[in-house]
């Protein structure tokens, strides 16, 4: 009867262990399934359409249905559905998702356009030559699939811990069996050894770990950090370095007009400046998914959004001389009914050279060398503060104007100052990272002066700035030395530079978190200890490569994730300490009395009951 009683209790314990392991597996699967579903819903929201010409008719189809040889129609606001060659038309494209370069790129007949890139302005017909995994984005996705999944520090620690527990349990079983065999016989000695082994193994730990991770994941999701892999949470808590983008992560990601600067401020100058901002502009508002949204270059959107509060839509555009990276300026001729004006904006150093006059308080005057010098000095002063500066100019013309003379003999009006302001909570978040012993490194495609100015605003400390050009010339040893000397700002950096910096930091044994949004960032994100993708502006390839997706693209959400990761790890650590306090006491008592007493002080049923109360119930 006693043997059956023992056996029944062992069966009950076995069933309990199986139930707990099953619950752990279900919880882990449910959380990761939920994360994948959230990502799928994000993808569906952004599910792109494509306009194609088939059988001589224009049709709208799912972007995934486009095939090589299709003629596609792309225009302002579209995301290009496949790699194609332009047959007719002209486009301004944001290729930053692929190249990391934030400036708009001009494309015309004969040039290639790439899947996933965004059209700022223009319209074109293009012939598709690659889709799916054969596109430039697809090739990067293929490389990601070939990369092996690295174990997280949490998985490594749990694996090492499990090996130790198994080893010590085997030792305990052998010692207990040998010590009790002569006193109690084979059956009781075997039962005692097995029961003690079960008592020594913390079967509640997987449940506690999974529940703690699942609850932590839920808390992080509330704070705009979507965790794609449960086991990465502890890694987030053990980060030594966070490498972050600037635009949209440390800053709001949206240019805003800060102010105008005039040589001599007057009402006429303000009026003309606002007209240039509004009319010399190709951005527009469209209805997308039932909402009114802006499409176009971010600088033009900022100018028009600011000016529309003061300018009434009137007249019509007669002519446009488009912006290009070579010309660094744009002009339009606009008929207001009572007058026709050339309105021009562009780089100050270019515009100033096109102006032979200036609008002052007492009217239009000749532009002097002294005033030109003053304007250019102001431009440099503002640029050093991280402010983007454009010069605005105009001139009245007759209806019989000649296109080749539109941008000659202009009248200088003002400088318009634009700034992508830091997010409000970023400074505090960086201070908390420093307090927690986490280093913050900014890696941006923006210019060094802007990067340094934003770093100063958010309290990011750095011993100098290294540009992408300088980084190209550095050996790995020189880069490692720069990192050792606390250089924490890398400007005009490409996705390749990100990967290189990451590899140097990891070689030093540091745990690194890496943010990114472009497709070319995906390799660095995949290789980082914690890969962090942007939920709003991030590409699908980058999101798939990541461990965490920031739903608001905000650096402060990384700070929150780190805090949550550390809290979870601390909770698990406390439970393990609590667990082994009772388990070690059990082992010590049984071993001691097995060696020095003729009696069984703790029966197997006692051990199993203690184990259930101190291990199983707290775990649940």
In whole angstroms, give the CA distance from residue 260 to residue 258.
7
Q: What is the largest CA-CA distance in the chain?
A: 118
Alpha-carbon distances of 80 from 36, 92, 204, 255, 383, rounded to whole Å = 25, 12, 51, 24, 33
Exposed / middle / buried, residue 207 (Cβ in 10 Å: 0-12, 13-18, 19+): buried
In whole angstroms, give the CA distance from residue 485 to residue 313.
55
Tell me the chain's radius of gyration from C-alpha atoms: 33
Token pair in block for residue 44: 């569906």
DSSP E strand stretches across 492-604? 512-516, 530-534, 548-550
| Residue bearing tokens 């400036």 | 103
- Catalytic residue, candidates 70, 245, 420, 446: 245
Name 337's Cβ contacts closer than 8 Å, sequence gap at least 6: 314, 315
Task: Check if the beta carbon of residue 441 is closer than 8 Å to that of residue 388.
Answer: no
3-state secondary structure labels for all residues of 442-465: EECCCCHHHHHHHHHHHCCCCCCE
Task: Check if the beta carbon of residue 341 is closer than 8 Å to that of residue 394.
Answer: yes
Exposed / middle / buried, residue 551 (Cβ in 10 Å: 0-12, 13-18, 19+): middle
Token pair in block for residue 484: 């050792």
SS3 call for 481: helix
Task: Check if the beta carbon of residue 162 is closer than 8 Å to that of residue 131.
Answer: no
Alpha-carbon distances of 267 from 272, 359, 392, 570, rounded to whole Å = 9, 11, 15, 63
Query: How many beta carbons lie within 10 A of that of residue 147, not counting itself?
Result: 12
In whole angstroms, give the CA distance from residue 502 to residue 482.
14
Active site residue 245: yes
Token pair in block for residue 283: 């951005």
| Residue bearing tokens 């999101």 | 543
Q: Which of 159, 237, 212 is nearest to 28 (CA)?
A: 212
Measured in degrees and rounded to the nearest 5, phi and psi for residue 232 equal -80, -15
In whole angstroms, give the CA distance from residue 296 to residue 119.
8
Token pair in block for residue 130: 């690659």
Name 561's Cβ contacts closer than 8 Å, sequence gap at least 6: 220, 223, 225, 227, 236, 548
In whole angstroms, give the CA distance from residue 19 to residue 315.
75
Enumerate the active-site residues. 245
């Amino acid at each position: 009867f006693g043997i059956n009683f023992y056996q029944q209790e062992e069966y009950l314990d076995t069933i309990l262990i199986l139930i707990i392991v099953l619950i752990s597996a279900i919880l882990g699967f449910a959380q990761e399934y939920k994360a994948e579903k959230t990502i799928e819903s994000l993808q569906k929201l952004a599910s792109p359409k494509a306009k194609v010409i088939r059988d001589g008719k224009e049709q709208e189809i799912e972007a995934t249905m486009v095939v090589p040889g299709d003629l596609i129609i792309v225009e302002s606001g579209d995301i290009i559905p496949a790699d194609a060659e332009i047959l007719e038309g002209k486009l301004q494209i944001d290729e930053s998702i692929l190249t990391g370069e934030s400036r708009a790129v001009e494309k015309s007949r004969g040039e290639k356009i790439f899947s996933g890139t965004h059209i700022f302005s223009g319209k074109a017909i293009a012939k598709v030559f690659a889709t799916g995994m054969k596109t430039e984005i697809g090739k990067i996705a293929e490389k990601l699939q070939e990369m092996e999944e690295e174990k997280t520090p949490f998985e490594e620690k749990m694996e090492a811990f499990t090996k130790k527990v198994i080893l010590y349990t085997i030792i305990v079983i052998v010692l207990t069996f040998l010590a009790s065999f002569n006193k109690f016989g084979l059956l009781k000695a075997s039962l005692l050894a097995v029961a003690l082994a079960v008592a020594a193994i913390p079967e509640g730990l997987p449940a506690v770990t999974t529940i703690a991770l699942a609850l932590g994941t839920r808390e992080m999701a509330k704070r705009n950090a979507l965790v794609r892999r449960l086991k990465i949470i502890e890694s987030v808590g053990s980060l030594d370095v966070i490498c972050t983008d600037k635009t949209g992560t440390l800053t709001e990601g949206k240019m805003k007009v800060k102010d105008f600067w005039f040589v001599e401020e007057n009402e006429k100058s303000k009026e003309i400046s606002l007209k240039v901002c509004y009319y010399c502009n190709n951005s527009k508002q469209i209805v997308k998914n039932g909402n009114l949204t802006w499409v176009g270059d971010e600088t033009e959107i900022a100018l028009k959004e600011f000016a529309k509060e003061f300018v009434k839509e009137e007249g019509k555009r007669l002519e446009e001389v488009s912006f290009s990276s070579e010309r660094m300026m744009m002009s339009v001729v606009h008929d207001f009914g009572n007058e026709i004006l050339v309105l021009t904006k562009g780089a100050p150093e270019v515009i100033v050279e096109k102006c032979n006059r200036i609008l002052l308080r007492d009217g239009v005057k000749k532009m002097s060398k002294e005033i030109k010098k003053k304007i250019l000095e102001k431009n440099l002063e503002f640029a050093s503060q991280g402010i983007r500066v454009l010069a605005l100019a105009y001139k009245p013309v007759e209806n019989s104007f000649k296109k080749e003379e539109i941008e000659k003999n202009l009248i200088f009006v003002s400088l318009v100052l634009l700034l992508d302001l830091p997010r409000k909570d970023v400074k505090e978040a960086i201070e908390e990272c420093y307090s927690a012993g986490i280093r913050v490194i900014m890696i941006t495609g923006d210019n060094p002066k802007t990067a340094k100015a934003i770093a100063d605003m958010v309290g990011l400390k750095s011993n100098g700035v290294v540009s992408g050009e300088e980084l190209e010339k550095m050996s790995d040893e020189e880069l490692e030395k720069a990192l050792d000397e606390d250089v924490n700002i890398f400007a005009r950096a490409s996705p390749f530079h990100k990967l290189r910096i990451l590899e140097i930091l990891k070689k030093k044994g540091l745990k690194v978190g890496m943010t990114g949004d472009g497709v070319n960032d995906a390799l660095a994100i995949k290789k980082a200890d914690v890969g962090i993708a942007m939920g709003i502006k991030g590409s699908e390839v980058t999101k798939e490569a990541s461990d965490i997706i920031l739903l608001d693209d905000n650096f402060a959400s990384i700070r929150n994730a780190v805090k949550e990761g550390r809290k979870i790890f601390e909770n698990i650590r406390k439970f393990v300490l609590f667990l082994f306090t009772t388990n070690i006491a059990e082992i010590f008592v049984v071993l001691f009395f097995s060696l020095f007493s003729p009696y069984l002080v703790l029966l197997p049923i006692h051990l199993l009951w203690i184990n259930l109360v101190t291990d199983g119930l707290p775990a649940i």
